[in-house]
Structure 1
Amino acid sequence: MNYLEFEKPLAEIEGKAEELRAMARANEEMDVEAAVAALDAKAEAMLGDLYGKLSRWQKCQVARHADRPHCRDYIEALFTEYTPLAGDRNFADDHAVMGGLARFGDRPVMVIGHEKGSDTTSRIAHNFGMARPEGYRKAIRLMQMADKFGLPVVSLVDTPGAYPGKGAEERGQSEAIARSTQACLNLGVPLVSVIIGEGGSGGAVAFATANSLAMLEHSVYSVISPEGCASILWKDAEKMREAAEALKLTAQDLLQLGVTDRVIPEPKGGAHRNRPQTCENVGSAISGMLSEFDGMDRAALIAQRRKKYLDMGSAGIAA
């Protein structure tokens, strides 16, 4: 278990319980059941207490947890007959973005998402989930294919933001993000999106301009990272805690503001502590969102999606 900074007291208790179990395995005559049970109960209570009052910055840490399930995990758990499609037919295949044809239950769909990777090697290969222009152009290609064949699109968002490197800018990063957002708005099929970890800036919006948007309980969605915001406003990245509070970037904040449509519950202690249960919860949410748009024709889907975002802007101006 990789423990976060605020989980250190919990790590000590769970560590002691594991030490006792190890000692009992080494010496079968030792009776540690009562002591272990007491420690487990204390850890369970502390876990509930910690995760029941997370600050916004702590939610950011949970959203970025190394053991949190990523796009590939959800595809393997929730979709069958997944056939990956690669490349933007223009420059290259961006491994930060994965997607392809699949079945969700008995429904054929197109699934697209950011993949961060699960260890150092894969994180480097997937560029930590930061897409380049070719990644967004691949997503556009897959969305257009889905539109052509009448397939709903499911997007799984987990990115710190679009890659800001020199090559990405040279190849039209901002234009690619804008085109991907436009492709979302113009889809004549249902588009449902889930923020499974980080929803960072335009890099997330380009996948999440959806008919219905859900966020996992401890995910975040913001125009900029707390560190980036702090660097701009206070010239000090260490002010990220204050920035996170000001940004109101949690799922609960955004449900209240009308940016997200639903919050998906996570197991106690976060998605990383019970990955199968988290995948099941996300699957139920996707199923519910897709069913909302059954029977809607192309014009109605486009109109609903555009109204959703125009109303959001109008509400902000009125406020």
Structure 2
Amino acid sequence: MSRPSARSVIKEIATGFEDLDVPRSEEPDDGPIDWPGYRSARDAAEERTGESESVLCGTAMIGDVEAVVIAFEFGFLGGSIGRRTGDRVEAAFARAVASRLPVVSLIATGGSRMQHGMRALSQLQRIARAAAGARSVPQISVLRDPTTGGGWATLGASADVVLALPGAQVGFAGSRVRPAGASAEAYTAEAKLAWGQVDQIVTPAELPSALERWLRLLTSSMEEAAEPPGALGSTDLPDSGWDAVQAARSAERPRAAEYLDAHFDWREELSGDRCGGVDSGVLCGFGWRSGRAIAYAAQCGTATLPAGFRTAARLVRLASRLRIPVLTLVDTPGAANDEAAERAGAGAAIAELFEAVASAAVPITTLVIGEGGSGGALAFAAPGSTWVTPDAYFSVTSPEAAAAILKLPADEVPALADRLRLRPQDLVDLGIARSVVRPADRV
């Protein structure tokens, strides 16, 4: 299979690429473990690719943003990671930190260089340490074909945003070392997207604009709090608690996607909790509004899965680290509480989001746009910075659950809704919400 060279890939997404000047480590002719024929294989790789190592590192402009670029040359010994690869990647992250530049990694590698033995494998520790030391700057990885072994388990999977090309082979195990009978589909970018390990799949034609947008978002730090969106639905306050519940449960009420589209000029989504789960009922990402970036985590009206809480926690932690304010939209009947949710760690996932919100170094703004069902909704809410729409409610538990807990008949449910003081105006009176937003409200 013919693959584009690293320099041609860089040229497609960036301008003005300048190689970093990295001192060349001394290396015995046959490598650190005297592998027979290694020198000749390396010479052939240099002649074939015109490169002196399996990775190119330098600075370039991607759109209007200067970035450090790390690009693997698969034609050089399969893009394998050796000592000099580690030297270059380490120098690239050091440059990123010193110059406050984001890092974009264009990965195409089969993993560690076998001919270097454990010296090659140990480079993964260097790369991980360098990436961890550069968490003050945004890190984006692009998974090309293939992204396997240590390249996936360090630069690829650890990035803040993970993009992948369609059909790219992605997995810790390369094609020649997988278990017999393993499904090839499990080692694709599409599978990793479905399993919450990749944020987006982008075509080569889409990649330049996708990177430009992501870099613009992630480098636009501004710690001023986000404003709550104006209400999109009914402007009439409910007379009773049961009226409030019915308004929030109405199929005609605007949902999170409508609020996000109305509020932002444009946005990019993150997907998945990075440990096997995706909750389609939670939208997370970064949006552009009036010349600034705002992170968002929004519930879409369904019971929130453990993966949804973990994805939201991931979003809040990333925004906090990059000094980007957060907007959360609350709309859920509650956390998923079935056997599958318990097995997936519902309690731990909710706790993770509570902790992320409580420890955030940036302001978080919350708007309740629909149902606010118990702790599963509260985990998304910012204490002291929560607003509510007229067609929403927030309650310690649903009226139906309250009736079950108190062993009351079903016909008591509407009256219980009143007693729970869950209407928008009640929430303001109780000090839970700052105010009820209206269509033209801007705070």
TM-score under structure 2 normalisation?
0.46
Distance 1:110 1:220, change over 3 A: same
The answer to whether 1:75 aligns with 2:248 is: no
Structure 1 residues 198 and 105: alpha-carbon distance in aligned structure 2, compared to 1, 3 A threshold: same
Q: CA deviation at 1:82?
A: 0.6
Opposite residue 195 of structure 1, the aligned amino acid is V
CA distance in 1, matches of 2:287, 2:433: 25
Q: Percent identity?
A: 36
What SS class does the counterpart of residue 222 from structure 1 fall into?
coil
| Cα distance per residue 1:110-150 (max 9 Å; x no partner) | 0110113xxxxxxxxxxxx2111111000010111101111
Q: CA-atom RMSD, angstroms?
A: 1.6
Q: Does 1:59 align with 2:234?
A: no
| 8 Å CA contact retained: 1:158, 1:196 | yes
Q: Does 1:197 find its partner at 2:356?
A: no
| Counterpart residue identity of residue 411, structure 2 | E
Report the alpha carbon displacement of residue 228 of structure 1 after superposing the two structures with TM. Answer: 1.0
Q: Residues 53 and 151 (structure 1 numbering): CA distance in 2 closer, same or farther, change over 3 Å?
A: closer
Aligned to 2:379: 206
Q: Which is richer in strand?
A: 2
2:432 and 2:258 map into 1 onto residues whose CA distance is 26
Matched, 1:130 2:303: yes
Gapped runs of 5+ residues in structure 2? Answer: 1-233
SS of structure 2 residue aligned to 1:207: coil
CA contact (8 A) 2:384 2:432 kept: no
Q: Is the 8 A contact 1:83 1:101 kept in 2?
A: yes
Give the SS at the match of 1:248. Answer: coil
AA paired with 2:241?
R
Note the C-alpha offset of 1:91: 1.8
Cα 1:157/1:53, change in 2 over 3 Å: closer
- Contact 1:181/1:209 (CA < 8 Å) preserved in 2? no
- State the AA in 1 paired with 2:418: E
| Letter of the structure 2 residue corresponding to residue 224 of structure 1 | T
The CA deviation at 1:237 is 2.8
Whole-angstrom distance in 2 between the partners of 1:228 and 1:136: 22
Matched, 1:215 2:388: yes
Note if contact 2:248-2:371 (Cα within 8 Å) is conserved in structure 1.
Answer: yes
1:168 is aligned, of 316, 327, 341, to: 341
- 1:253 matched residue in structure 2: 426
Distance 1:160 1:237 in 2: 18
Determine if the alignment matches structure 1 residue 86 to structure 2 residue 271: yes
Cα gap change, 1:141/1:263 in structure 2, threshold over 3 Å: closer, same or farther? same
Q: Please report how far the alpha carbon of residue 218 of structure 1 lies from its aligned counterpart in structure 2 after TM superposition.
A: 2.9
Deviation at 1:53, TM superposition (A): 6.3
- Change in 2 beyond 3 A, CA 1:66/1:87: same
Task: Give the conservation status (yes or no) of the 8 Å contact 1:147–1:187.
Answer: yes
Aligned length: 209
Question: Whole-Å Cα distance in 2 between the matches of residues 252 and 67 of structure 1?
Answer: 22
Deviations 1:203-241 (A, max 9, x none): 111100345100112310011011111122133233111
CA separation of 1:55 and 1:211: change in aligned 2, threshold 3 A? closer
Specify the code of the residue in structure 1 equivalent to 2:280. H
List runs of 5+ in structure 1 lacking aligned partners. 1-47, 117-128, 266-277, 289-319
Are 1:102 and 2:275 matched, yes or no? no
Q: 1:211 to 1:235 in 2, by over 3 A?
A: closer
Deviation at 1:92, TM superposition (A): 1.3
Partner of 2:176: none
Contact 1:184 1:210 in 2 (8 A): no
2:407 counterpart (227, 234, 238)? 234
For each residue in 1:180-215, what CA deviation from the matched residue of structure 2 results, as whole angstroms up to 9, or x when unmatched? 111111000010000001111111111003451001
CA distance, structure 1, for counterparts of residue 376 and residue 239 of structure 2: 26
- Residues 190 and 211 in structure 1, CA contact (< 8 A), matched pair in contact too: no
Equivalent in the alignment of 1:273: none
Q: Which residue of 1 aligns with 2:101?
A: none
Q: Secondary structure at the match of 1:63?
A: helix
Query: Which residues in structure 2 correspond to 1:131-170 (within 5 Å)?
Result: 131-170=304-343
Q: Is the 8 A contact 1:195 1:214 kept in 2?
A: yes
Whether 2:353 is the aligned partner of 1:180: answer yes
